[in-house]
Amino acid sequence: MRIDVVIELIIPDNTAFTVLTALRHLGYAELQAVDRAEHIILTTDENAQPSELVAHLAQAEVVFNPNKHRLSYSVENGATSTEPAELEALVSDKDEDNSRLVRLLTTTFGVSGVRDIERAVGWRLRDTHGPASRERLEWACRELLANRISQRYDIRPRPHAASVRETAAAPTKGGR
Amino acid sequence: MSQPRVAVLVFPGTNSEEETVDACRDAGMDARPILWSEPPADLRSYQAYVIPGGFAYEDRVRAGAIAAKSKSVDVVREEAARGKFVLGLCNGAQVVAEVGLLGDIAIARNLPSGHFQCRIVDIQLSSPPKCCVFTAAMAPGTVLKMAMAHGEGRFTGTPALFDRLEREGRIAFRFKDRAPNGAMHDAAGITNDRGNVLALMPHPERVAWNFNLTFARPPSRREDPRSPSHSHEIFRSMAASLA
């Protein structure tokens, strides 16, 4: 099973603002907003419970800081929205090795059931016409968001995600 | 005879411009820091450019990615195509790679560590000195101590490209021991095909004087602490090539 954990800042995102400015300078004058999120894509044991696992991941506070992040997740082949989905560009390194992170989470923090982790940065752009088109996202990836030699990108509909706070096992700051 | 004029580019987040300017001046060059906000066209009057280390634009998106899109770097790229010298040090090397001055080479996140690594390393000249203007005055096989301090310093590209770099003598510097950052062919510094551009990940300017190396190179304690160290040879070679 694959679980896409999405971590977004709840404080101002300086990187997204820099990208907004840079893409405008590069010719995308009608660009109005840039949203960025880190994606932690977990490959898990088949019998893993997504809500419990994600709650445990959040509680570990290795990739997630409740003081500055919002966390949501979606399960591959899980529920999808019936509304037309907004497109997002996922940018990831071609050579990545997250084995140390897997070991840290599974051994030190006891987040069991995680076999592998892929990481990516998700970008969503909105201009005066609404969510950016596939062509615009591809242009932004080629121009700035992805290095064609060391990274890859994938343009895809944004999956419907559940907030970790919707789950019964969600950690609360007061319990720490 | 007038000294060669060298522009040391400064972006928001650059943090090594002062020692870079000093190292260039000690080698006999007229080096000046040039801010990102100054008119880019003014850069054309300089004979050489150094893009120093630091975290330009806070390494947002990728190290060097935003600075590589600046008007100043556009000018540097055009002047490099005319044969002027460009030295990129650490973050400057990342900018040089991002802007495409090295060809199809990227500088990516350190592997397998995956994190920032900071240490004094031995770097060996691994191509014929004359292949690059920044090594032309060095003895073959020279070993220099430099300060490695980066989280994204892994030179990468296709295996075929790196085989070609080896044949063409473009891997100017190599980590003497295995590259801690996982760089292909243990590359620490790569030149362009004309040898007028060098992207060097470790910092020579941070250990350019003997007092910088009193712990890492004990023999330097017997020398004048204010004198340039052997790592200064890169700047001396640059000055000699500009003369």
Q: Residue A149 in contact with residue B157, Cβ under 8 Å?
A: yes
What pLDDT does residue A175 have? 36
Q: What is the pLDDT of residue A81?
A: 56
Is the residue at A88 inside a domain? yes
For residue A101, give how far its alpha carbon lies from the nearest alpha carbon of chain B (Å): 10
Strand A130-131, strand A69-75: pairing: unpaired
Q: Domain count of chain A?
A: 1
Q: Which two tokens stand for residue A20?
A: 């907004």
Instruction: State how far the Cα of B33 lies from the Cα of B22, in Å rounded to an integer.
Output: 10
Q: Which residues on chain B place their C-beta less than 8 Å from a C-beta of chain A?
A: 57-58, 60-62, 65-66, 69, 98, 104-109, 111-112, 114, 156-157
ipTM: 0.90
In a domain, A174, yes or no: no
Chain A positions in Cβ-Cβ contact with residue B111 (cut-off 8 Å) = 95-97
**Is A90 contained in some domain?**
yes
Read off the CATH number of the domain in which A144 is found.
Answer: 3.30.1280.10
Burial class (CB in 10 A: 0-12, 13-18, 19+), B160: exposed
E strand or H helix that includes residue A37: strand A31-44
Using the beta-carbon criterion (under 8 Å), do B60 and A98 form an inter-chain contact? no
Residue B20: count other Cβ atoms within 10 Å of its Cβ.
30
Q: What residues have CB less than 8 Å from B108, skipping those under 6 apart? A: A93, A95, A147, A150, A151, B152, B154, B156
Alpha helices, H only, chain A: 14-25, 50-60, 99-103, 134-140
Q: Per the domain annotation, does A140 fall within a domain?
A: yes
Match domain B5-242 to its CATH number in 3.90.1150.10, 3.30.70.20, 3.40.50.880, 3.20.80.10: 3.40.50.880
Structural domain contains residue A38: yes
CA atoms within 13 A on the CB side of B133: 23
The reported pLDDT for the residue numbered A82 is 58
State which residues form the domain around A156.
2-164
A17-52 tens-digit pLDDT: 999 999 999 999 999 999 999 999 999 999 999 999
Tell me the one-letter amino acid at A167. T
Instruction: For A36, name the nearest residue in chain B, comparing CA atoms only.
Output: B61
Between positions 86 and 105 of A, the ones with CB within 8 A of B are 93, 95-101
CB B149 within 8 A of CB B90: yes
For chain B (243 residues), the mean pLDDT of every run of 10, in chain order, is 93 96 96 96 97 97 97 97 98 98 96 92 96 96 95 97 96 96 97 97 94 86 88 94 94
What per-residue confidence (pLDDT) applies to B215? Answer: 87
- Order the strands of the B171-175 sheet from edge to edge: B30-35, B5-10, B48-51, B85-89, B197-200, B187-191, B171-175, B117-125, B143-150
Is it the case that residue A171 has pLDDT exceeding 50? no
**Interface contact flag, A149 B104, Cβ < 8 Å:** yes
Q: Which of B65, B66, B156 sits opposite A149 (nearest CB)?
A: B156
Listed in sequence order, the residues at least 6 apart from B78 whose beta carbon sits closer than 8 Å to its beta carbon are none
pLDDT of the residue at A174: 40
What is the pTM for the complete model shown?
A: 0.92
Residues 6+ apart with CB under 8 A from B49: B6, B7, B8, B9, B43, B76, B79, B80, B84, B85, B86, B87
> Each residue of A112-165: pLDDT tens digit?
899 999 999 999 999 999 999 999 999 999 999 999 999 999 999 988 777 665
Does residue A135 sit within a domain?
A: yes
SS3 of residue B37 by DSSP: coil
B106/A149 CB distance under 8 A: yes
Q: Tell me if residue B115 falls in helix, strand or coil.
A: coil
Bridge partners (DSSP) listed for residue A152: A92
Interface of A with B in 38-57 (CB under 8 A): none
Whether chain B has a CB inside 8 Å of the CB on A19: the answer is yes
CB contact under 8 A, B112 and A97: yes
CB of B135 closer than 8 Å to CB of B234: yes
Residue A171 lies inside a defined structural domain of this protein: no
**Judged by CB atoms within 8 Å, which residues 109-148 of A form the interface with B?**
144-145, 147
**Phi, psi dihedrals of residue B193, rounded to the nearest 5°:** -70, -20
Cβ contacts of A139 on chain B, cutoff 8 Å: none
Of A15, A18, A93, the CB nearest to B108: A93
Distance (Å) from the C-alpha of residue A15 to the closest C-alpha of chain B?
5
Residue owning tokens 């560009």: A89
Active site residues of B: 90, 203, 205
Tell me whether residue A91 is in a domain: yes
Q: Can you list the pairs that B163-170 forms with residues at least 24 positions away whose Cβ atoms lie under 8 Å?
A: B165/B190, B168/B131, B168/B193, B169/B127, B169/B128, B169/B131, B170/B127, B170/B131
Note the pLDDT of residue A27: 96
- pLDDT of amino acid B11: 98
* Burial class of residue A85, CB neighbours in 10 A (0-12, 13-18, 19+): middle
Cβ B234 vs Cβ B203: under 8 Å: no
Provide the token pair at B134: 């920044």
CA distances from A96 to A118, B33, B68, B109 (A): 8, 36, 24, 8
